[in-house]
Chain A
């Protein structure tokens, strides 16, 4: 199988026998879920008796930046990794952001989003030795002025500079296919420890109920 992907996924599709219950994980405290849509209501339609969620402060004034959102992330990570009495100690933390481009549409500048992702990286990756995964949308259109401070292109480039691995997911250029859902280009930005210079690789993938399988182009089981 693909050793590079295995090192990222830390599993093979063959081992997806049991599923993961998110509800249970949330109850146990393993999963902390910030549902942006729901929480935004507390700021947009303030009601008596309901406290506002400070993490969504940027909705009131996007120019303030995402410092409050970062504080939420920091406090969530600290509470889950401190191992208080009676709670289980979990492994390294993972921060998943789905998706960060929405913040741009809410009026936050690309600059502020990049500051937020920098702080998250410093806390999650460097301090707590965890991992961070962010979903960012790129339209794929070339903007004429490459110095556009507010554009999603600037955010994408900034995140690319900050990260150690990018997965560029696209649909197939030939259109819809039942057995191949798309292609993913994997780029390693940091040098790998064993000196291998595998910088970019292109795979095709298919999404299952409990995972995804990857294969080299043209070797889908539907084709071979």
Chain B
């Protein structure tokens, strides 16, 4: 799946690469830029976090006119007097103007390094609005953004990733140069697919997928497991025959007070003691059985 994504996102696609402080996603971002350059696409990079020299290391430089680096690294907040791109210019109008200034006939791919920098200075709803407008508008063909998931609240990360058509979460792998990519891809029909692949990146920024992708469908309910028969495979017999079952059902339980038991107790059998009661003048003798209303 990683290789498919590297071959090009569909128009209107928004890819988010999530990383953390333990494993950087910038190498993968550079691989995506390089793959797009090799396909002769126009790339516009909003570089907040690293300088142009650092980002350009290893990239295909055969056609420098296709890669436009907008310097938002030297002075993103306007503290000095450099006239460079600032974080406050991250809105639809400015970005459309920026891309249209330099781009050729084909719509460009916009790469944002990183979304976390912008989210530190603009509210998440404003950023999401701009991203959604960019997706819908015609100025850019596709957007690729790097997001440091451990720098924001989960809600913020969730909101941004919800806009994305694909999300790649990078985590450290078992070996030193390997990393694990968890990929969530949303197709236009609304189906969500999830993949997990182990990959490594060579010095020329080509990505090598080490293992076959494991394809996980979106969660389904597990079918109920069949009940095991506990009386099977025993050395003794726990089952009942029909006559035994009938006798069992007829058996009166010792502490259940049924009608038969009640009459047997009240009307004692032959030979047992009898109780003779002769009421006094003070006694309130009521012929009715005082226990008649008990539901026993």
Q: B79 contacts which of A111, A119, A191 (Cβ < 8 Å)?
A: A119
Shortest C-beta distance, A83 to chain B (Å), equals 21
Docked-complex contact B76 and A118, CB < 8 angstroms: yes
* Alpha-carbon separation in the docked complex, A67 to B152 (Å): 23
Chain A: CB-nearest residue to B52 = A126
Contact of B21 with A161 in the complex, beta carbons under 8 Å: yes
A197 to B75, CA, bound (A): 32
Q: Are A122 and B51 in contact (CB under 8 A)?
A: yes
Provided the pairs A67-B79, A111-B120, A162-B49 are in contact, do residues A146 and B150 lie with their beta carbons within 8 angstroms? yes
Contacts of B152 in A (CB 8 A): 147
Tell me the residues in window 99-137 of chain B with beta carbons closer than 8 Å to chain A beta carbons. Answer: 116, 120-121
- What's the least CB distance linking B68 to chain A, in Å? 19
Chain A: CB-nearest residue to B156: A147
Contact at B73–A126, with CB atoms within 8 Å? yes
Does A181 lie at the interface of the complex (its beta carbon under 8 Å from any beta carbon of B)? Answer: no
Contact B151 A154 (CB under 8 A): yes
* Residues of B contacting A70 in the complex (Cβ-Cβ under 8 angstroms): 79
Within the complex, the shortest CB–CB distance from B159 to chain A, in Å, comes to 12
How far does the Cβ of A65 sit from chain B's closest Cβ, in whole Å?
9
User: Cβ of A160: which chain B residues have Cβ within 8 Å of it?
Assistant: 21
Cα(A71)–Cα(B79), bound, Å: 9
Contact with A along B72-98 (1 / 0, CB 8 A): 011111011000000000000000000
Q: Which of A134-169 contact B (CB under 8 A)?
A: 145-147, 149, 154, 156-158, 160-162
* A23-41 vs B, Cβ < 8 Å mask (1 yes, 0 no): 0000000000000000000
Within B129-166, which residues are at the interface with A (CB < 8 Å)?
148, 150-156
Contacting residue for B74 out of A114, A122, A191, A197, CB 8 A: A122
A residues bordering B, Cβ < 8 Å? 67, 70-71, 74, 111, 114-115, 118-119, 122, 126-127, 145-147, 149, 154, 156-158, 160-162, 189-191, 195, 197-200
- With A147-B152, A157-B21, A161-B148 as known contacts, state yes or no: A126 contacts B51, CB within 8 Å: yes
- B contact residues around A190 at 8 Å (CB): 54
- CB neighbours of B73 from chain A (8 A): 122, 126
Contact present for B154 and A147 (CB under 8 Å): yes
Min CB distance A33 to B, Å, is: 23
Measured between alpha carbons, how far is A71 from B148 in the docked complex, in Å? 28
Which residues from chain B contact A157 at a C-beta distance below 8 Å? Answer: 20-21, 148, 150-151
**Quick one: which of B49, B120, B121, B155 has the most chain A CB within 10 A?**
B120
- B27: contacting residue among A74, A126, A147, A191, CB under 8 A: A191
Cα distance, A123 to B249, chains bound together (Å): 91
User: A126 near B148 (CB under 8 angstroms)?
Assistant: no
Q: Is the pair A197, B176 in contact by a Cβ cutoff of 8 Å? A: yes
A162 and B76 alpha carbons, distance in the complex (Å) = 15
Shortest beta-carbon contacts, A-B, top 10: A147-B153, A160-B21, A197-B177, A126-B51, A157-B21, A197-B176, A157-B150, A199-B176, A67-B79, A195-B203
B53 adjacent to chain A (CB < 8 Å)? yes
B24 contacts partner chain A, Cβ-Cβ < 8 Å:
yes
